[in-house]
């Protein structure tokens, strides 16, 4: 084999090796970027969901005060404004489904939809209470339904966090 042919073959092998290394590096960077985007989407969803839950619990307690509760009741106008704010953030939460769907995997998106659905019942009850005449008029069954809904939401929040953790 002459030196010219050896140089050409050596250059070709070097070019192939360099191209393969660049492809592997680009593929790894792409996977890393996608994983980071998924983590950020899950964190944004989970943070907003946790804030909504905390505000729902507080508003629920202060919209239907009980003599044994240490919470100061809200006036009707403040209760309505806070309920409307929670409703707006719930709508924002639902829009985050699209980001989660694109970030993948599908099971994270499905769990987010199930968890967001758990916000609806307690939110509707609080919206109804804030529009009502007086906190003392809240039926006991509504209070029990609210409490059950909040327990389900807490479980859903934990399930979403577990699903997201397993997927990122």
- Domain contains 151: yes
- Domain contains 132: yes
- Domain contains 75: yes
- Domain contains 27: no
Domain that holds residue 136: 33-167
Per the structure, the count of domains in the chain is 1
Nearest residue to 62 (alpha-carbon basis) of 80, 47, 84, 50: 80
The model's pTM: 0.74
- CATH code for the domain of 146: 1.20.120
- Domain contains 56: yes
- Domain contains 116: yes
Q: How many CB atoms lie within 10 A of CB 96?
A: 18
- Domain contains 49: yes
Q: Let me know: does 109 contact 167? Beta carbons within 8 Å.
A: no
- List average pLDDT for each run of 10 residues in the chain, which is 168 residues long: 64 60 55 77 92 90 69 79 91 90 87 92 84 66 89 93 86
């Amino acid at each position: 084999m002459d030196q010219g042919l050896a140089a050409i073959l050596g250059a070709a092998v070097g070019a192939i090796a360099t191209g393969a290394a660049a492809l592997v590096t680009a593929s790894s960077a792409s996977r890393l970027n996608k994983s980071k985007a998924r983590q950020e989407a899950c964190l944004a969803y989970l943070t907003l969901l946790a804030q909504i839950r905390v505000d729902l619990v507080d508003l629920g307690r202060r919209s239907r005060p009980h003599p044994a509760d240490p919470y100061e009741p809200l006036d009707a106008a403040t209760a309505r404004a806070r309920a409307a704010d929670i409703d707006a953030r719930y709508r924002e939460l639902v829009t985050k489904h699209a980001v989660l769907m694109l970030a993948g995997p599908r099971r994270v998106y499905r769990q987010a939809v199930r968890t967001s659905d758990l916000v609806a019942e307690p939110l509707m009850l609080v919206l109804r209470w804030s529009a009502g005449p007086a906190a003392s008029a809240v039926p006991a069954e509504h209070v029990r339904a609210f409490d059950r809904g909040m327990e389900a939401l807490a479980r859903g929040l934990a399930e979403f966090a577990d699903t997201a953790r397993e997927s990122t």
